[in-house]
Amino acid sequence: MRKFGFFLFLALLAVSCKSKQEEKPVEPETYTYSIGSTEELCAFFSLDQDDIIVSGHRGGVLPGYPENCLETMQQMVQKMTTFFEIDPRLTADSVAVLLHDSTLDRTTTGEGLLKEKTYQEIAGLYLKDEKGKPTPYHIPLLDEVLAWSRDKVILHIDQKEIPYKAMSDLVHRMNLHNIVFSSQVPSNAQYLVSVDPDVRLIAWMHSMEEFRKFEAVGALDNMVAVWICTDAIDEEHRELSAALRARGIRVMVATAAKRDRNPAAYASGPDIIETDYPVDFIGQYRVRK
């Protein structure tokens, strides 16, 4: 009986080990990184790293995975080093969620203006992929995405209707250092810096004239990158690009949904490419790994 019990134990142990081996392993988030201070945030964007950073516009997209979707970002960081531009908006009952458009129609299975719907009314909706097909994924809460991003990835917050002061307070309350904000005009940048002198910005500039206006309000020192309002650096933007780099600011181009423009964007030699399709650049020379 004792031998039988011993052999039974070995058999059960073998079955147990086999079942553990057959369990699907959890894939590591290979390309995540931790930003624990303003200094580390600035170091990520430093031009001392002579490379090209690829950013996911609206959180990026993948086959079957929609824009401004937490699950999409979770998949993307398993494939490459990136950061994500996201679009927070408010529901009728002031719940912050991610949604680029003011309406639900294009990217969800719902209809109408987001600001006229309560969170309870939209919580059961499904996000659509780029082909308009419903996915299993729901509209994410902003604080859920912010919490996930900690020690994983930088988020670039595009300002919609949520007041900046409220966004800044939320970021500080959560003790996050991995957040940068968009700024489209000098007066807005000046205000953002007045609210938080440590804020880091990605600004929009069309010309040297705008560069001087941002310089005049003292906002250049807070900038980690500037979108030069084009999808590839051309002769018109050479002087502006040189002036930005002389101040240690990365030059960004943005192709958005224009996937066919990605090769030209890359060939023009920017420091950041913002695109809906970051994975197009995996393995390209000088693209950050």
- HSE, side-chain direction, 13 A CA sphere, residue 231: 13
Q: Is 185 helix (H, G, I), strand (E, B) or coil?
A: coil
Cβ atoms within 10 Å of 215's Cβ, excluding its own: 15
- Residues 188-202 have a mean pLDDT of 97
Distance CA(253)–CA(269), nearest Å, equals: 10
What is the average pLDDT score of the chain?
Answer: 92
**Would the CA dihedral through 140, 145, 146, 148 be positive or negative?**
positive
- Residues 241-261 have a mean pLDDT of 97
Residue-range domains of the chain with CATH = 33-103+140-281 (3.20.20.190)
Query: Burial of 264 by CB count in 10 Å (0-12 exposed, 13-18 middle, 19+ buried)?
Result: middle
Q: What is the β-pairing status of strands 96-98 and 53-56?
A: unpaired
**Would the CA dihedral through 198, 33, 147, 224 be positive or negative?**
positive
% the chain with pLDDT above 90: 88
* pLDDT (tens digit per residue) in 136-173: 999 999 999 999 999 999 999 998 889 999 999 999 99
Q: What pLDDT is stored for residue 26 in this prediction?
A: 55
- First CA to last CA across the chain, in angstroms? 60
DSSP bridge partners of 256: 275
Q: Collect contacts of 72-75 with beta carbons under 8 A, ≥24 apart.
A: 72/137, 73/145, 73/148, 73/153, 74/29, 74/148
Q: What pLDDT is stored for residue 161 in this prediction?
A: 86
* pLDDT (tens digit per residue) in 82-123: 999 999 999 999 999 999 999 999 999 999 999 999 999 999
